[in-house]
Amino acid sequence: MKAQWLRYLLGVGIVYFCLMAAAHFMGLKYPLLFVYYDTPFYAYQDKIISFSVLAYASLFYAAIRHIQVVPMALFALGVTVLGLSFVNVSSDLQSVMQGQGTLIYWLQTGFFAVYFLVLLGLYKGVSRSE
C-alpha cells in the first residue's frame, strides 16, 4: 500500500514540475508555480529554469519506474529545500524585497519540505517491507 502511495505522490510531483516548467517558460508568475513570483526576473532565466525543472519531472518518473531511483529524487528535493531556505535568508533576496517580508516564500519552502518528508516516510516504509 505504501508503494502505491509513493508512486502516486511521485506522479503528483511530475505533474507539478511540468506545470512549474510551463509557468516559467510562459512567464506566468503564480505562487507555488513560481516560488519568487513577485521579484524582478529576466525572461531568459525563466526559460532556463523551465528546462531545468523538467529534469525533476524526469527523475521522479524514473523513481516511479525503479524504486532504486527514489533516494536520488529525495536527495534532489532535499537539496532544493535547503537551497530555497538559503535564498530566503540571503541578502540578495532582501536587496530586491524593498522591505517586504518573506513569509510567502517560507510557506512555499515549507510545502516542499512537507512533500519531501512525506515521500521520505513512504519510501522508508516501502524499503523496510521489501
74-98 pLDDT, tens digit per residue, is 999 999 999 999 999 999 998 888 8
pLDDT confidence band for 100 (50 / 70 / 90)? confident
Distance between CA atoms of residues 87 and 90, nearest Å: 5
More confident residue, 129 or 78: 78
Q: In whole angstroms, what is the distance from residue 21 CA to residue 50 CA?
A: 4
Q: What is the pLDDT of residue 40?
A: 84
Residues in the chain: 130
